Chains A and B, each alone.
Chain A
Amino acid sequence: MSGMSAQAEKVDAGPPAEVRTSAGPLGGGPARGRGRLTGAAPYLLLLPAVAATLVLLGWPLVKNGMLSFQNLNKRQLIQHLTEWRGFDNYRETLTSEAFWRVTGRSVVFTAVNVALIMLLGTLVGLLLARLGTKMRLLLSTGLVLAWAMPVIAATTVYQWLFAQRFGVVNWVLDALGWHGMADYNWTSSQFSTFFVITVLLVWQSIPFVAINLYAATTTIPKELYEAAALDGAGTWKSFTSVTFPFLKPFLLATTFLEVIWIFKAFPQVFAINEGGPERLTETLPVYAFVEGVGNQHYGMGAAISVLTILILLGLTGSYLRTVLKQEEDEL
């Protein structure tokens, strides 16, 4: 009975607002005016959001594209000159060895970090699912603390942890018998600087993966495990036949989010050592910043940042397409 009336209402509700207002006590005349207002209402409600996004996000993107075709250095900046130079910024960037070296470095850096984050994050998440209530609360509190730590504060703390003199990491390594590390300067080489940045990023990113993965495991129906157990599946088998397939969409989505975050990570990479030593730890966003702002080649910097965005789109394009398609089907 109630089901039927709901059904009827649903069918009726075609253009819902209109039908209801005209059926209301207001009668014919005013309902028309109201109808027109209701027609415009959603757009009016969306107007501030759309306008803000267009002006403050869309316009800088367009501006970025325009700047990338300009010859804009210190002189032009000060004298407010607009000098177009066609594709020269791109030609120069794409033929420079440095750009490709930085690009390759960024891709490897992203791949290593994301692989570590996903692997360790998944393990920690599965551990959370196995723990008793008390231990789970303990570990998740620890994770949330690391997660909540502001980026720049965390970066500063890592500089102190890895400090050459009196840094606790060097002390521990020394105490463990690796005496060569007692006075080690972590920012002195490319590899060790990247090592510190990686530890920092992985430490910061695991909580997101682990906590969300744990939340996802709680939604796996218990019956699936029971059925697997009936078929004689052990721990490993029930993981590969139940847990993993169930979590696969989540893992895929998280991997791509992490790719985006790591690839464009700026504060951590920049604040640890400003891309040093000798510009050897610059990733693409830092490279664009140093070339554009530091060396005052703003046009070149803009071209590099356009290319960075394109590379990022290339890396995540296939995933973006599936997500958008999925959403479109759902909406």
Chain B
Amino acid sequence: MRRSTPSKAARIWPGAIAVLLFIGFTFPVYWMFATAFKPTSDIVTEDPVWFPSHPTLEHFKTAVQADNFWTMVRNSLTVTVLAVLLSLAIALLASFAMTRMRFKGRRGFILTFMIAQMAPWEVMVIAIYMLVRDADMLNSLLPLTLFYMVMVLPFTILTLRGFLAAVPRELEESAMVDGCTRPQAFIKVIFPLLAPGLMSTSLFGFITAWNEYPLVLILNKDQEAQTLPLWLSQFQTAFGDDWGATMAAASLFALPILLLFLFLQRKAVGGLTSGAVKG
């Protein structure tokens, strides 16, 4: 029983819907960049100007020259990069133990991290505020770094565990037969094979920390210690309805993530799903 050959319409409609969906999903992203590059006269018009035919960098200049922009760029980068690196280091140790060693309570540890992954951070901000205030560390980058590190830690551990499990044990064993110690075998044999896994895992951590909003909103009232999500969410209010500058600010904030994502798309998405299945 062969399927009857589909009619012409049946062959065309999936493609047509795909194009419509593509437009629907990309339009907000396109509109952000388009608005950012349009002169104000093309933004404030009764009929939208669909294409920035007179591109200008004026809005980017406004955004970049806004108060404390560069401080917040530096803060965001510091906090994000440190949190991701710290959690990678800690997660490597933990996931190595969980995939390569047998010990009592192994299951319990894995289940704990699975539950920790679902921690409702958004509703814990009041308690965290109290703890940080009692430690006299409001308006500091250290608590942010540490909490972001723990936010991404369970996911990092579980995903790395999936990647590590995929590296055949025999490779490591043969290296040890050849005279490597276990740490040496790990650094020389496993680590290079793990590189793609580390990349896609850290991508997720990077996005989470880069985007984090509720915690910095409550902890760091001092502009000098704020990060870009706060800057962006307050930008529109601060600049009235200067949508050009607001969209330029949003573009600057989104660009690193969009590039990373597109660049790592295949690896990252494949890696995340395979890691999630095993993890």
Closest CB in chain B relative to A223 CB, distance in Å: 15
Q: Is A160 part of the binding interface, using a Cβ–Cβ cutoff of 8 Å?
A: yes
* Segment 279-301 of A: residues with Cβ below 8 Å from B: 284-285, 288-289, 292-293, 298, 301
Write out the residue numbers on chain B whose beta carbons fall within 8 Å of the beta carbon of A155: 233
Q: Which of B18, B150, B261 contacts A127 (CB 8 A)?
A: B18
Taking CB as reference atom, which chain B residue is nearest A287? B123
* Segment 242-275 of A: residues with Cβ below 8 Å from B: 260, 264-267, 270-271
Given known A41-B97, A49-B90, A171-B48, contact A63–B273 (CB-CB < 8 A): no
Residue of A144, A157, A265, A284 with highest tally of chain B CB at under 10 A = A157
Q: Is A97 part of the binding interface, using a Cβ–Cβ cutoff of 8 Å?
A: no
Bound form: Cα–Cα A41–B124 in Å: 33
Residue-wise interface mask of A (301-331) relative to B, using a CB-CB cutoff of 8 A (1 in contact, 0 not): 1100100110010000000100110011001
Q: Is B189 part of the binding interface, using a Cβ–Cβ cutoff of 8 Å?
A: no
Write out the residue numbers on chain B whose beta carbons fall within 8 Å of the beta carbon of A131: 14-15, 18
Bound form: Cα–Cα A266–B212 in Å: 10
Write out the residue numbers on chain A whose beta carbons fall within 8 Å of the beta carbon of B101: 17, 38, 41-42, 45
The segment from B25-33, B52-60, B66-74, B190-198 that touches chain A is B25-33
Q: Which of A158, A265, A293 contacts B218 (CB 8 A)?
A: A293
Residue-wise interface mask of A (46-75) relative to B, using a CB-CB cutoff of 8 A (1 in contact, 0 not): 101110110011011101100100000000
Taking CB as reference atom, which chain A residue is nearest B169? A16
Report whether A145 and B26 are in contact in the complex, using a CB–CB cutoff of 8 Å: yes
Report whether A158 and B214 are in contact in the complex, using a CB–CB cutoff of 8 Å: no
Taking CB as reference atom, which chain A residue is nearest B105? A43
Q: Is B106 part of the binding interface, using a Cβ–Cβ cutoff of 8 Å?
A: yes
Residue-wise interface mask of A (186-214) relative to B, using a CB-CB cutoff of 8 A (1 in contact, 0 not): 00000000000000000100110001100
Closest CB in chain B relative to A221 CB, distance in Å: 17
Given known A45-B93, A138-B22, A146-B28, contact A52–B123 (CB-CB < 8 A): no
Given known A149-B258, A260-B118, A271-B233, contact A124–B21 (CB-CB < 8 A): yes
Write out the residue numbers on chain A whose beta carbons fall within 8 Å of the beta carbon of B29: 145-146, 149, 157
Write out the residue numbers on chain B whose beta carbons fall within 8 Å of the beta carbon of A50: 94, 109, 112
Given known A63-B131, A135-B14, A158-B28, contact A52–B90 (CB-CB < 8 A): yes
Taking CB as reference atom, which chain A residue is nearest B91? A49
Report whether A53 and B116 are in contact in the complex, using a CB–CB cutoff of 8 Å: yes
Write out the residue numbers on chain A whose beta carbons fall within 8 Å of the beta carbon of B123: 264, 284-285, 288, 305, 308-309
| Interface of B: prevailing SS | helix
Q: Is B128 part of the binding interface, using a Cβ–Cβ cutoff of 8 Å?
A: yes
Write out the residue numbers on chain B whose beta carbons fall within 8 Å of the beta carbon of A328: 107, 111
Q: Is A29 part of the binding interface, using a Cβ–Cβ cutoff of 8 Å?
A: no
Taking CB as reference atom, which chain A residue is nearest B147? A56
- Give the A-B pair count, Cβ closer than 8 A: 265
Q: How many chain A residues touch the partner (CB < 8 A)?
A: 93
* Segment 234-279 of B: residues with Cβ below 8 Å from A: 235-236, 241, 243, 246-247, 249-251, 253-254, 257-258, 260-262, 265, 269, 273
Write out the residue numbers on chain B whose beta carbons fall within 8 Å of the beta carbon of A143: 25
Report whether B269 and A139 are in contact in the complex, using a CB–CB cutoff of 8 Å: no
Write out the residue numbers on chain A whose beta carbons fall within 8 Å of the beta carbon of B113: 49, 53
Given contact pairs A64-B124, A146-B28, A309-B123, a sample of 4 additional A-B residue pairs in the complex whose CB atoms are under 8 Å apart: A57-B119, A148-B260, A308-B123, A324-B114
Give the interface of A toward B (CB within 8 A).
Answer: 15-17, 38-39, 41-43, 45-46, 48-50, 52-53, 56-57, 59-61, 63-64, 67, 124, 127, 130-132, 135-136, 138-139, 141-161, 163, 165-166, 168, 171, 203, 206-207, 211-212, 215, 229-230, 232, 260, 264-267, 270-271, 284-285, 288-289, 292-293, 298, 301-302, 305, 308-309, 312, 320, 323-324, 327-328, 331
Q: Which 3 A-B pairs have the closest CB atoms?
A: A148-B261, A64-B127, A45-B97
8 pairs, A vs B, C-beta closer than 8 Å: A50-B109, A131-B15, A152-B229, A211-B269, A267-B211, A267-B213, A302-B127, A331-B106
Give the interface of B toward A (CB within 8 A).
Answer: 1, 3, 14-15, 17-19, 21-26, 28-29, 31-32, 35, 43-48, 90-91, 93-94, 96-98, 101-103, 106-107, 109-116, 118-120, 122-131, 146-147, 149-150, 153-154, 157, 207, 210-211, 213-214, 218, 229, 232-233, 235-236, 241, 243, 246-247, 249-251, 253-254, 257-258, 260-262, 265, 269, 273
